[in-house]
């Protein structure tokens, strides 16, 4: 089965579709059905001969044409104007919320306002004002800081555009344990992204680090080397190199993990 991944909005997760053996290219725009209705999106993932227990059943309606792209451009202009209006309304109602962006459905049957806030916001009066102005279905959606970064974009500590904005479909769980396994500084400033949370890229190599940990002795372990017994004083997980301090020596020697064996505890 040929499958494509489509992102319909900057803040949206990827949607996967069966192409029905049609050929689609990266960067191509298509029209597809989503839980939020019919939308125009960009193909950012293509997979030939895709096999998975959860095979996509939805299909793309059609390729986007020049008229569709014009409608989407008009929707983006309407969203800019709507954002200005709602920001003024938020000030009038003195609400503790920050409007991040506005998204119109492709057919303009709905308009979504994404916002952040530190707590609960009673925006019932705000919605009444908005309903009288926009004359369409309105949805106010409170999002988290990671979603905000995904929408706004930016440049990460690596000097490249944020993963979540450029190619990452769904957010992956990331933990401080990953930073420890990879021998990174635990300084929050160095391992946090623009959103203030742990960087998503910590997940990319974690499987390799976990595999390496299973194949190598831990720090402080006594091992037998080609030059005699010693104690592990350092490891390089990705290179599979073990730094050993031999008995009776002040300097360290390095060995491949395959050259040492753990001495059983007595």
116-130 confidence digits (pLDDT tens)? 998 888 888 899 889
Cα–Cα distance, 160 to 208 (Å, whole number): 23
Long-range contacts of 178-186 (CB under 8 A, 24+ apart): 178/202, 178/203, 178/206, 178/209, 181/206, 181/209, 181/210, 181/213, 181/237, 182/206, 182/209, 182/237, 183/237
Distances (CA, A) of 165 to 106, 124, 157, 174: 21, 31, 14, 17
Cα–Cα distance, 60 to 93 (Å, whole number): 42
Residue 189 CB contacts under 8 Å (≥ 6 apart), including other chains: none
pLDDT at 244: 93
Lowest mean pLDDT of 57-61, 232-236, 240-244, name the range: 57-61
pLDDT at 12: 64
Cα–Cα distance, 202 to 181 (Å, whole number): 10
Q: Find out whether 113 and 85 touch, Cβ atoms under 8 Å.
A: no
Summarize pLDDT for 42-59 with one digit per residue, the tens.
998 888 777 766 766 677
Q: What stretch of H or E contains 213? A: helix 206-215
Top-level class of domain 69-143 = alpha beta
Summarize pLDDT for 131-174 with one digit per residue, the tens.
888 888 999 999 999 999 998 889 998 899 998 887 777 788 99
Cα–Cα distance, 147 to 43 (Å, whole number): 20
CATH 2.30.30.140, the chain: domain bounds: 215-262
User: In the predicted model, what is the mean pLDDT of residues 206-223?
Assistant: 89
Mean pLDDT score of the chain, rounded to an integer? 88
Helix pair angle (124-134, 66-92), 10° resolution: 140
Stated pTM of the model = 0.75
- CA-nearest of 238, 174, 231, 171 to 210 is 238
Q: Find out whether 183 and 223 touch, Cβ atoms under 8 Å.
A: no
CATH 3.30.300, the chain: domain bounds: 69-143
Q: Find out whether 210 and 247 touch, Cβ atoms under 8 Å.
A: no
Top-level class of domain 215-262 = mainly beta
């Amino acid at each position: 089965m040929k499958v494509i991944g489509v992102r319909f909005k900057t803040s949206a997760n990827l949607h996967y579709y069966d192409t029905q053996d049609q050929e689609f290219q990266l960067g191509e725009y298509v029209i597809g059905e989503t839980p939020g209705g019919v939308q125009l999106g960009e193909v950012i993932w293509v997979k030939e001969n895709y096999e998975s227990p959860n095979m996509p059943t939805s299909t793309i309606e059609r390729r986007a044409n020049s008229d569709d792209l014009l409608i989407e451009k008009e929707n983006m202009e309407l969203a800019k104007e709507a954002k200005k209006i709602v920001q003024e309304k938020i000030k009038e109602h003195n609400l503790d919320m920050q409007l991040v962006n506005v998204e119109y459905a492709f057919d303009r049957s709905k308009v979504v306002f994404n916002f952040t806030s530190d707590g609960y916001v009673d925006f019932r009066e705000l919605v009444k004002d908005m309903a009288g102005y926009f004359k369409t279905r309105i949805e106010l959606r409170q999002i988290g800081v990671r979603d905000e970064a995904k929408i706004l974009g930016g440049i990460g500590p690596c000097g490249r555009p944020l993963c979540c904005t450029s190619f990452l479909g769904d957010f992956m769980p990331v933990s401080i344990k990953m930073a420890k396994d990879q021998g990174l500084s635990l300084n929050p400033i160095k391992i946090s992204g623009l959103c203030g949370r742990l960087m998503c890229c910590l997940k990319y190599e974690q499987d390799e680090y976990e595999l390496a940990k299973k194949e190598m002795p831990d720090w402080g372990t006594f091992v037998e080397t080609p030059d005699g017994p010693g104690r592990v004083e350092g490891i390089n997980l990705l290179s599979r190199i073990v730094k050993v301090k031999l008995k009776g020596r002040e300097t360290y020697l390095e060995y491949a993990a395959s050259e040492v064996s753990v001495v059983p505890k007595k």
